[in-house]
Chains A and B, each alone.
Chain A
Amino acid sequence: MNYAESPEWLKLLHYKSLTFGGYEGLVDNDKFYADEEGRYNPQKEMETEIKLFNEGDKIKCEFPARFEWLKEKGLVKGNLDDCEEYQSFMNDVKPDGITVLFTNAYMSNPASLFGHTLIRIDTARKGTQMLAHGSNFGANSGDDSGPIYAFKGLVGGYYGGYVISPYWDVINTYNNIENRDIWEYHLNLTLKEQNKFVNHLYEMKNALIRYFFLNKNCSYMILELLEAVRPELNVTADYNYWAIPLDTLKTIKEVPDLVDNVNYRPSRYTKIKAQTKAMNEGQFEAFYRGIKEHDYDMENLSETEQSAVLETQYQYYQYIYTAGYMELKDYRKNSFAVLRKRSSMPEIETVKPQGEEPNLSHASAQIMFGGGVYNHKSFEQINLRPAYTALTDDNWGLIKGAGISVLESQFRYYNQNHKAVLHRFTGLKIDSFVPADKIFSPWSYISDFNIHREYNPSNNHEGYVGEIKFGMGKTYALFDWFWLYGILSAKGQYGGFIRENQWMGAAPEIGVFNDFGRFKANFGAEKDFATRKFGSRLIYKAETSVNFTKDISFAVMYNMSHNESGHNRQELIGQLRYSY
Chain B
Amino acid sequence: MPLTQADFDAVLLTLKLASLTTVLLLLIGTPIAWWLARTGSWLKQPIGAIVALPLVLPPTVIGFYLLVSMGPHGFIGQLTQSLGLGTLTFTFSGLVIGSLFYSLPFVVQPLQNAFEAIGRAPLEAAATLRANPWDAFFTVVLPLAKPGFITAAILGFAHTVGEFGVVLMIGGNIPGKTQVASVQIYNHVETLEYAQAHWLAGGMLAFSFIVLLALYSGRRVRQGW
Genuine A/B complex: no
